[in-house]
Amino acid sequence: MAKGNPKNISGVKDLARSDVTIINRQKGAGTRFLLDSFLASEKLEPAAVKGYANEEWTHLGAAAHISRGKADVAFGIRCAASQLGLDFIPLTKEQFDIVFRWTPENKGALQHLIDLIQLTNFKESIADFDGYDAENFGKIIYGNHLSEA
């Protein structure tokens, strides 16, 4: 939302107010799925949300709509809000995992990727982005690749 939260938005229920316009993410986006889940938990129909049909493809693009005054609020990430000097209300945390099928054909490329993540300052560069927790970044949760040739 805009710096200073001029519409005094405090949560998902405020999205149904007639004086609040959102910019939504595109159909199929994980962020949109989360928003729809939050709306359902508040028993709010998407049709009750002004601007619900207005779509943007990126978090930064959605934040830009707010920065230009074209929308009051978006459901997005802290990093995009921070980059444009907007306010942010955290509603949830997401964890992302990358899953690979380790094969003899991709072994070298995947090992190079793991080395890049674990052995360089890449993890520290991720931690520099506002809203990201890189504590477990690069951690192998399950791997049987060590036993494969």
List the pLDDT tens digit at each of the 149 positions of the chain.
999 999 999 999 999 999 999 999 999 998 999 999 999 999 999 999 999 999 999 999 999 999 999 999 999 999 899 999 999 999 988 777 778 888 899 989 988 988 888 877 777 777 777 776 767 777 777 766 555 54
Report d(CA 149, CA 147) in Å as an integer.
7
Q: Please give the tally of structural domains in the chain.
A: 2
Same domain, 131 and 70: no
Q: Record the pTM.
A: 0.75
Whether residue 45 is contained in a domain is answered as yes
Q: Which residue has the tokens 């693009």?
A: 61
Same domain, 73 and 121: no
Same domain, 78 and 16: yes
Q: Which residue has the tokens 């003899």?
A: 104
Whether residue 90 is contained in a domain is answered as no
Range of the domain at 36: 12-83
Nearest 5 degrees, angle CA 58-CA 10-CA 60?
Answer: 15
Whether residue 6 is contained in a domain is answered as no
Report d(CA 20, CA 43) in Å as an integer.
18
Tokens of 133: 């927790």
Whether residue 102 is contained in a domain is answered as no
Candidates 7, 2, 13, 6; CA nearest to 91 is 13
Whether residue 98 is contained in a domain is answered as no
Asked which of 49, 83, 117 is the last residue of a domain, the reply is: 83
Q: Compute how many other C-beta atoms are within 10 angstroms of the C-beta atom of residue 64.
A: 19
